[in-house]
Amino acid sequence: MAFNFVRKKYLENSKIMEKIKGNLEDQLRLQRYREVVENFKKKVESFGLYLMDEVARSRAAPPDYNFLHSKYVKIEENKEGGGINIDEEEEEKKLRKKKERKLKRREKKVRRRERGVDPEKEESIHG
């Protein structure tokens, strides 16, 4: 029914249909532009957050700190608000835990070899 109405109007006045067609194309184009702008806003926001993070790290770092080629260092502000302390104890704990895990893995491999099980074959079966 609607198709017949539109067809009838189109045959009567093609200028109206051209305007409707142009409006639809404009709406689609505007929708695409809105999507592009939204994506760009998201990218700008994430880049801004990245820069703010790097500025905070560089303020806590020594003068020769190069923020483009550095590892992430966890920082904590003093409760007094006077300065920033680099938490080295946590890093040492992490390193100790890594070493302990390595030792445990080696001990497991040694025990398996003593039992006569090849650890590489066993890992490939289970992995």
In this structure, are 14 and 67 located in the same domain? Answer: yes
pLDDT tens profile 31-84: 999 999 999 999 999 999 998 888 887 777 666 656 565 554 444 444 555 444
Instruction: Note whether residue 78 is domain-resident.
Output: no
In this structure, are 94 and 65 located in the same domain? Answer: no
Which range of residues forms the domain containing residue 96? 88-127
* 87 has pLDDT over 80: no
Tell me how far CA of residue 63 lies from CA of 12, 15, 35, 53, 56, in angstroms: 78, 70, 42, 17, 13
Task: State the maximum Cα–Cα separation within the chain, in Å, rounded to a whole number.
Answer: 94
Instruction: Note whether residue 93 is domain-resident.
Output: yes
Instruction: Identify the residue whose tokens are 């801004």.
Output: 48
Cα–Cα distance between 65 and 36 in angstroms, integer? Answer: 36
In this structure, are 46 and 98 located in the same domain? Answer: no
In this structure, are 9 and 48 located in the same domain? Answer: yes
Tell me how far CA of residue 70 lies from CA of 53, 65, 67, in angstroms: 13, 8, 5
The number of folded domains in the chain is 2
